[in-house]
Amino acid sequence: MRVLVTGAAGHIGGHVIDDLLAHGHRIVATDLVPLDDPRLDRVHTGDLSDPVLVRDAMAGAEAVVHLGAIPHPNSPDDSALFASNCLTAHRVLDEAGRTGVRRVVAASSLAAVGLAWSPRPQSPRYVPVDEEHPTLVQDPYGLSKVVLEETARATHRRHGTDIVCMRFPFTGTGERLAAQLAAVRDDPGGHRMDLWGWLDTRDAARAVRYALTAELTGCHVLNVAADDTSSPVPTAQLLEEHHPGVPYFTELTGHTSLFDTSACARLLGFAPKHSRSAPGTADRTDEDTGEEVTAVREV
């Protein structure tokens, strides 16, 4: 199908495009920066706050992957960051609904829980954190993702559009991921607020494709994360040292993740292929190629 990908020049966007093209989809792309990729059907360069650009890009789209947003809270103007992310989310989702697009996949963030970028130290109310965890958000970036998810629900109510909002943690692969794993290894406490969540970007791209093609209706918010933490320290020890007293409702064996991704597995049939905690071994077989997928090596 023809898929509009916003934020196509970003880190996740590039992997999403490669994955979708490899599986026979056609791509229309938008970004603030020009994209010179002959594989794409069309490229629209500009700001998603522009209704004309969004309308033109949406023409002929059968599905939308909305990745276009300011992806972090590092802004000199918190209000401008919040306003930009909220406006562009509404522009894209509302236009998709108005033009009859039946499926939208939008990049939310585990920052919507309110821990990762909190200006004040916080702990989760319980672990593993599921999609029903209370919102603790204080920062403008996390708040913009909460609004994205509410915009998705409103769009479904108004237009009947089926939408999947994917709550991603840190995503990386190659050198980007190696640097993150090294930073967590050297200072586990420095990553206590993100609960050591991570996801290989190749898995993020696969999850997006699964969300585009899954047989589901409605609006769904899903945690999407690796099965293990980004830290070589056992999970139970991490929790005891950095979030003492937080109740847990599953056995925290080994390096198990502190995010509940069971809804994603159930609704999309998705499981991540890449693991940090079993370096040098094959942890899954790629259902698309039949090849073994090796685990990510610690640095």
2-273: CATH number:
3.40.50.720
Distance of alpha carbon 71 from alpha carbon 97, whole angstroms? 24
**140-159 helix and 78-98 helix, angle to the nearest 10 degrees:** 20
Q: What digits encode the pLDDT tens for the residues 8-48? A: 999 999 999 999 999 999 999 999 999 999 999 999 999 99
Q: Is the pLDDT score of 298 beyond 90? A: no
Distance of alpha carbon 220 from alpha carbon 269, whole angstroms? 14
Average pLDDT over all residues of the chain: 93
Q: How confident is the model at residue 256 (pLDDT cuts 50, 70, 90)?
A: very high
Q: Is the pLDDT score of 245 beyond 50? A: yes
Q: What digits encode the pLDDT tens for the residues 75-127? A: 999 999 999 999 999 999 999 999 999 999 999 999 999 999 999 999 999 99
Query: CB–CB of 162/218 below 8 Å?
Result: yes
**201-213 helix and 11-22 helix, angle to the nearest 10 degrees:** 50
Q: How confident is the model at residue 277 (pLDDT cuts 50, 70, 90)?
A: low
Cβ neighbours of 68 (radius 10 Å): 27
Show the CA angle centred on residue 218, arms to residues 217 and 221, nearest 5°.
115
Q: Is the pLDDT score of 200 beyond 60? A: yes
Peptide bond into 128 cis (omega under 30): yes
Q: What digits encode the pLDDT tens for the residues 206-216? A: 999 999 999 99
The mean-pLDDT minimum among 13-27, 242-256, 257-271, 273-287 falls in: 273-287
**pLDDT value, residue 276:** 84
**pLDDT value, residue 290:** 44
Q: Which of 189, 184, 255, 185 is nearest to 225 (CA)?
A: 255
Token look-up 């007293």 returns: 245
Query: CB–CB of 1/62 below 8 Å?
Result: yes
Categorise residue 15: left if φ over 0, alpha if ψ from -120 to 50, beta otherwise: alpha
Adjacent-strand bridge partners of 3: 27, 63
Instruction: Count Cβ neighbours within 10 Å for each residue of 140-164 and write b for 16 or more, e otherwise.
Output: bbbbbbbbbbebbeebbeebebbbb
**pLDDT value, residue 291:** 41
Q: Is the pLDDT score of 281 beyond 50? A: no
Which is it for the CA torsion 48, 15, 214, 194, positive or negative? negative
Query: CB–CB of 286/273 below 8 Å?
Result: yes
| SS3 state of residue 38 | coil
**What pTM, to 2 d.p., does this model score?**
0.92
Q: State both tokens at 242.
A: 């950095």
Query: CA gyration radius for the chain?
Result: 19
Tally DSSP H helices, then E strands, for the chain.
8, 11
Tell me, what amino acid is at 272? P
Q: What digits encode the pLDDT tens for the residues 138-196? A: 999 999 999 999 999 999 999 999 999 999 999 999 999 999 999 999 999 999 999 99
Q: State both tokens at 6.
A: 């916003």
